[in-house]
Amino acid sequence: MQRIKLSCSVLLLSIVGCGVLEPPAPSEAELDNGLIVMYPGALNTTFEMYGFYAGIRAAGVNQAIEIKPWAPPLLNFLIPTEFLQYERPWAAAEAARIVQYQKDHPGAPVTLLGFSGGAMLCILIGEEMPEGHELDCVIMMSPGVSPTYDLNPMLARTTQGAVVYWSPYDTVVNFTTNLLGTLDGVFGPAAATFGFTTENPKLLQVQFGPQFALFGNEGEHTDYAFSIEWISQFVAPWIAH
């Protein structure tokens, strides 16, 4: 019951807090150091990414950080089977924007970080990256994507591969995707609860461990987004340098 209340509170705060958190505009020095683009979950609020922003900054990362909502709130649940077709043009435009950043800042690393539904956008953007303009690293937190989605095309467009965090205790996503569908239109469990079936040496899958609880992460969906100390200790080290 306490976990349900916490999840409902976070949902309410996310809706109320839409647009409240806007990271400062990156400085030229930060842009020269690298770019981290963060994609929120299905609510598409900047508030959802507050913990990631704070945790990465607390770890001393001095790269530019952007938060990019990618669709109207909860749209993917309204058109689950058509969502990928709907969203791919946005992903292609975002990939082109990242390519322009790479041209303007040669050699600067690019990391994409997606939470929940935002993990699907990281995958789509990776698929849309042109040859010769690879991403450095993709980080997927509690992905609301079907476990069988083929990650190989995205992984082929990375230099350092991808990291995915999942937890068998992520019951919120499991219930939601069984009822309303994953971001790739599959009605069933999500990789957030079971991990991906893709076998590729460029994919590192990190299952929830009891040591995470020492830093405020007990394996539920919102724990991954709002446990700032955990993010600083376990997520920030994957940022490409």
Separation between Cα atoms, residue 30 and residue 50, nearest integer Å = 19
- Look at 9-23, 59-73, 105-119, 139-153 and tell me which has the smallest mean pLDDT: 9-23
**DSSP structure class, residue 60:** T
Nearest to 83 by CA among 130, 123, 113, 140: 123
Which residue in this structure is represented by tokens 């965090």? 165
Instruction: Evaluate if residue 152 carries a pLDDT over 90.
Output: yes
| Cα end-to-end distance, the chain, whole Å | 42
Distance CA(208)–CA(74), nearest Å, equals 26
Closest CA to 222 of 145, 144, 142: 142
| Cα–Cα distance measured from residue 187 to residue 189, given in angstroms and rounded to the nearest whole number | 7
Amino acid at 171: T
- Indicate whether 13 pLDDT > 90: no
* For range 144-150, the mean pLDDT: 98
Q: How confident is the model at residue 21 (pLDDT cuts 50, 70, 90)?
A: low
DSSP 165: E
For residue range 69-105, list pLDDT tens digits in order.
999 999 999 999 999 999 999 999 999 999 999 999 9
* pLDDT reading at 130 higher than 60: yes
* Residue reference for tokens 């900047």: 46
What digits encode the pLDDT tens for the residues 175-218?
A: 999 999 999 999 999 999 999 999 999 999 999 999 999 999 99
CA distances (Å), origin 48, targets 35, 89, 104, 132, 210: 19, 24, 29, 32, 24
How many angstroms separate the Cα of 69 from the Cα of each of 80, 107, 119, 127, 225?
18, 26, 12, 18, 15
Largest pairwise CA distance in the chain: 51
pLDDT per residue over 29-51, tens digit each?
A: 999 999 999 999 999 999 999 99
Distance in angstroms (rounded) separating the CA atoms of residues 168 and 111 = 26
Q: What is the pLDDT of residue 15?
A: 37
Looking at residue 16, what is its pLDDT? 37
Of the pLDDT bands very low, low, confident and very high (cuts 50, 70, 90), residue 23 is confident
What domains sit in the chain, N to C, each tagged with a CATH number?
25-238 (3.40.50.1820)
- Per-residue pLDDT for 17 more than 70? no
Query: What letters, b where the CB count within 10 A reaches 16 and e where it falls short, cover 82-94?
Result: ebbeebeebbbeb
pTM, two decimals, is: 0.92
For the chain, give the percent of residues with pLDDT over 90.
Answer: 89
Q: What is the pLDDT of residue 20?
A: 47
Contact present, 222 and 142 (Cβ < 8 Å): no
What's the mean pLDDT in 121-148?
Answer: 98
Flag whether pLDDT at 5 surpasses 70.
no
Return the bridge partners of 112, or none.
37, 138
What 3-state class would DSSP assign to 138? strand
